Structure 1
Amino acid sequence: MSSFLINNILWLKAFHVIFMVAWFAGIFYLPRLFVNHAETDSTAVAEQLKGMEKRLLYFVTPFAIFTLLLGLAIIYAYGLDWFIAAKWLHIKLSLVTVIYIYHGYCFKLVKTFALDKNNRSGRFYRIFNEVPVLILFAIIILAYVKPM
């Protein structure tokens, strides 16, 4: 692999991680807003949270898109043989798929709260908030340790 390609891959990886961190900051915070929303009895607070939830989700969605595009560019840069051989990557991509499904489900939850139709407890959203944390731990270990 030429030094030009290696340098480009390093830039792709750097921006992939930057956008992933920005995305996950929102993915970690949004369910905390859901907890507060589910537990409030105040209409004024609920209305404020509706706006915060929607703005946050729409703010971090481009970071999710850039994370995906840069990840695909990295795979392309390394090539098909590397992709086939990188068994750890296949597991990582499965977990990444779960996170994108989680992100999509957040759109449904934002809409549910916007329509005042939430029927889940703050406890549910506290547990929901832990899902991306655990998946991120696994993704990072797979990406950096490459255990297989």
Structure 2
Amino acid sequence: MLYLIIKALHIIFMVSYFAGIFYLVRLFVYYKDTDSFTEEKKIILREQYLFMMRRLWNIITVPAFVIMTVCGIIMIFLNPYLLHAPWFHLKLTFLVGLFFYHYWAWKKILQIKLLAGKDLPISNLKLRQFNEIATFLLFLIVITVILKSTVIDYWWQLILGFFVLVFIITLTVKLVNKSKK
């Protein structure tokens, strides 16, 4: 029973974490979108976006990340079999990618704070593409957890499907950006 409660909390805070990280990177895009605005409008919006980023990061994203991670570690202690399951090793690999993405987002917030309202030295398109990385990681993690051992047997189809998904989303982002211009 305890394991199922911890698992439920893990899933709830995973959803909260991903909601936070999705919106955070979208705020980076909105911040970058202000580059072409008048100086007065740019200053006001950038201050607001930075305020929103800090609140989102400190009140939702990081606490959800910590609770999600702690619940995951507790589940490993309660069910050490997980460490012997090949599908779980694959999930851990994707989680390492998620931790790097989390670190990148944190560094981007620090960069925006240090720039004090100045332009971000990254293209809008790159930010929009980075915005999709969390989606890819969520896709890989959930598919791995749901399909478990089947993923190991059909890993190449998962990887192929992943690259097709990446291609479709990247193409969609580029097409949407072209239609905006």
| TM more than 0.5 | yes
Q: Does 1:15 align with 2:9?
A: yes
> Do 1:16 and 1:66's aligned partners in 2 also have CA atoms closer than 8 Å?
yes
Find runs of 4+ consecutive structure 1 residues off by over 2 angstroms: none
Deviation sequence 1:96-116 (CA, Å, 0-9, x none)? 111112112211101111222
Q: Give the deviation of 1:23 after TM superposition.
A: 0.6
Cα distance between partner residues in 1 of 2:137 and 2:107: 20
Residue number in structure 1 paired with 2:144: 142
> Do 1:35 and 1:121's aligned partners in 2 also have CA atoms closer than 8 Å?
no
Instruction: State the one-letter code of the partner of 2:140.
Output: A
Q: Give the deviation of 1:21 after TM superposition.
A: 0.3
Superposition RMSD on alpha carbons, in Å? Answer: 1.2
Q: Give the deviation of 1:144 after TM superposition.
A: 1.2
Instruction: State the one-letter code of the partner of 1:12.
Output: I
In structure 2, the CA distance between the partners of 1:126 and 1:63, relative to structure 1 (3 Å rule), is same
Superposition TM-score, scaled by structure 2 size: 0.74
Q: Give the deviation of 1:83 after TM superposition.
A: 2.8
Deviates more, 1:108-117 or 1:49-58: 108-117
- Which of 3, 28, 31 aligns to 2:25? It is 31
In structure 2, the CA distance between the partners of 1:70 and 1:111, relative to structure 1 (3 Å rule), is same
Residue number in structure 2 paired with 1:56: 56
> Do 1:23 and 1:63's aligned partners in 2 also have CA atoms closer than 8 Å?
yes
Cα distance between partner residues in 2 of 1:84 and 1:110: 34
Structure 2 gap segments, 5+ residues each: 153-181
Cα distance between partner residues in 1 of 2:83 and 2:7: 19
Equivalent residue runs for 1:95-134 within 5 Å: 95-116=94-115, 118-134=120-136
Structure 1 gap segments, 5+ residues each: 1-6
Superposition TM-score, scaled by structure 1 size: 0.90
Q: Does 1:68 align with 2:31?
A: no
Cα distance between partner residues in 2 of 1:47 and 1:84: 45
Deviates more, 1:120-129 or 1:15-24: 120-129
